[in-house]
Amino acid sequence: MPFLLDGNPTQSEVSDAVNYLLSNFTQTVSADPATGEVSGPTGAVTGYLYKYVSVKYADSFDGTVNFSNTPTNRLYYGIRNSDSSTESTNPADYLWSLVAGGFSTTKNLYYITTGGRQIQFAVSTSIPNTGWVIDPGTAIDLDVISGANGPANYVIIRITNDSSAPTNAESISAIGRTPISGDLATVNYNSGISSIVYKYTTGWAVFQKYITGDLIVAATIVASNLSVAQLSAIAADLGSITAGDITVGSSPAISGTTMTGSGTHLYSNGRFVLGNSTTNISFDNTNLSINGSLIGTANVVANAITTSNGSTSGSSGANVTVSLTAGDRVYLSGYSSTSYPTGSFVLISRDTSLSVSGAASGTLVTVGTNYGADAATGIGYAGATPVSVVYTAPSTGSYTFTVTYNAGAGSTAVQVLGLKR
């Protein structure tokens, strides 16, 4: 008889070792190497020598009548202990016990393993307590402690369109035991299209339902059913959007021809503002306003702006004729006498009048001899500060701008520079 077992002992060696321990530590515990049963002082089986226990059912004391793997309507159950997970189909290999009243259709055989290859059995119509497991129909591993198992979360897959609660058989197939309080089971049904989650307390109850995205019909989820903190996780081509006001930034809003705050505000009536309080673009449904230095040097490409201009010089009465569209604005400058050389088209000089004729006529400005602003028009120059005239065409047509020297003979010149809209 060995006192030390190697990693692959024979059944006889295990039996001898256990009997040696039992004989040295107690005289009231015995083991049977033929059946694998370890019996306590009262003769009750308290454990087994070998790793696996197989369970079968029958209608006779020797298992020969209606030998079966399920308990329905059977009268006896048989136990076999071995080191093989392959269950024997020979009734003679099992130790048979009679069930009072039989199993009928409502009773099952439950067990609980607590370590040390100890196992208890109970015939009942429901799970006796937490940790008890229904016979799975396969060999029971005594080294797996069922009593230590807590609630489980598992999936049951059905091909049929059946969303009913899990059956005991489905739970056993999934996790090797019947359900206990706290179990969560997801039933995936209808060939994987839909799922429903059940929670077990004393029975199954619906915990949560959900469906896959391809089952959602367009326009069936209304706004009142959405409750989200943010949509930043969504990445999609939004297509055409109909919305109210859209605001981005820090309280951006139109204020006259400029704005307050910073960012972008698109109003539902077509107005908009973009930028900050000093540099911005705004549209108030009437005027488009630009504020600040919005265009950097060399950022306007050639031919992006079309201009119309003309200039002439000579004796008093130099003029330029241009065609304008109603609303066009032109920038005019001119000089008189010999004090200002040709090309200095940046001011209206003293003793000079600037007039327009053609589609509209009249004197635009007269500058006196005092080197200051003309009292009637408020336009002129003082010292080295030149002043130009901005003229807006009231109608479409041909306009002639003339510079006249009012102090006698002298040379004059005029320039017209206009941005065409």
Least confident span in 81-85, 144-148, 185-189, 346-350: 346-350
Amino acid 75: pLDDT: 96
* pLDDT tens for each residue of 208-228: 766 656 556 676 776 666 666
Amino acid 72: pLDDT: 94
Indicate if 189 and 141 belong to the same structural domain: no
For residue 31, being part of any structural domain is answered with no
| pLDDT confidence tier of residue 372, bands split at 50, 70 and 90 | very low
Boundary residue ending a domain (231, 266, 291): 291
pLDDT of 23 strictly over 80 = no
Boundary residue ending a domain (232, 259, 291): 291
Indicate if 256 and 281 belong to the same structural domain: yes
Indicate if 415 and 313 belong to the same structural domain: yes
Amino acid 28: pLDDT: 66
CATH number at residue 332: 2.60.120.380
Average of pLDDT values for 112-138? 85
For residue 227, being part of any structural domain is answered with no
Indicate if 62 and 163 belong to the same structural domain: no
Amino acid 69: pLDDT: 94
Amino acid 192: pLDDT: 75
- What is the residue range of 269's domain? 246-291
Boundary residue ending a domain (128, 148, 168): 148
| pLDDT confidence tier of residue 339, bands split at 50, 70 and 90 | very low
pLDDT of 138 strictly over 80 = yes
Least confident span in 68-72, 133-137, 228-232, 281-285: 228-232
Indicate if 56 and 143 belong to the same structural domain: yes
Amino acid 382: pLDDT: 37
pLDDT of 130 strictly over 80 = no
Indicate if 317 and 341 belong to the same structural domain: yes
Indicate if 363 and 261 belong to the same structural domain: no
* pLDDT tens for each residue of 160-197: 889 899 998 888 777 767 787 888 888 888 877 788 88
The first and second tokens of residue 401, run together, are 């701008």
Give me the residues paired with residue 355 across strands: 363, 402
Indicate if 315 and 278 belong to the same structural domain: no
Amino acid 378: pLDDT: 33
Highest mean pLDDT among 23-32, 124-133, 218-227, 302-311: 124-133
Average of pLDDT values for 336-349? 45
Q: What is the 3-state secondary structure (H, E, C) of the chain?
A: CCCCCCCCCCHHHHHHHHHHHHHHHCCCCEECCCCCEEECCCCCEEEECCCEEEEEEECCCCCCCCCECCCCCCCEEEEEEECCCCCCCCHHHCEEEECCCCCCCCCEEEEEEEECCEEEEEEECCCCCCCCEECCCCCEECCCCHHHCCCCEEEEECCCCCCCCCCHHHHHHHHCCCCCCCCEEEEEECCCCEEEEEEECCCEEEEEEEECHHHCCCCCCCHHHCCCCCCCCCCCCCCCCCCCCEEEEEEEEEECCEEEEEEEEECCCCCEEEECCCCEEEECCCCEEEECCCCCCCCCCCCCCCEEEEEEEEECCCEEEEEECCCCEEEEEEEECCCCCCCCCCCECCCEEEEEEECCCEEEEEECCCCCECCCCCCECECCECCCEEEECCCCEEEEEEEEECCCCCEEEEEEEEECC
Indicate if 366 and 321 belong to the same structural domain: yes
Burial of 143 per CB tally in 10 Å (0-12, 13-18, 19+): exposed
Average of pLDDT values for 88-116? 91
Amino acid 371: pLDDT: 41
Amino acid 355: pLDDT: 79
Least confident span in 48-52, 218-222, 336-340: 336-340
For residues 245 and 269, give the distance between their C-alpha atoms in angstroms, rounded to a whole number.
9
| pLDDT confidence tier of residue 74, bands split at 50, 70 and 90 | very high
pLDDT of 385 strictly over 50 = no
Amino acid 343: pLDDT: 38
| pLDDT confidence tier of residue 409, bands split at 50, 70 and 90 | low
Amino acid 14: pLDDT: 67
Q: What angle do CA 377, 383, 385 make, to 5 degrees?
A: 65
For residue 341, being part of any structural domain is answered with yes
Give me the residues paired with residue 134 across strands: 110
Mean pLDDT of the chain: 76
Count of domains in the chain? 4
| pLDDT confidence tier of residue 346, bands split at 50, 70 and 90 | very low
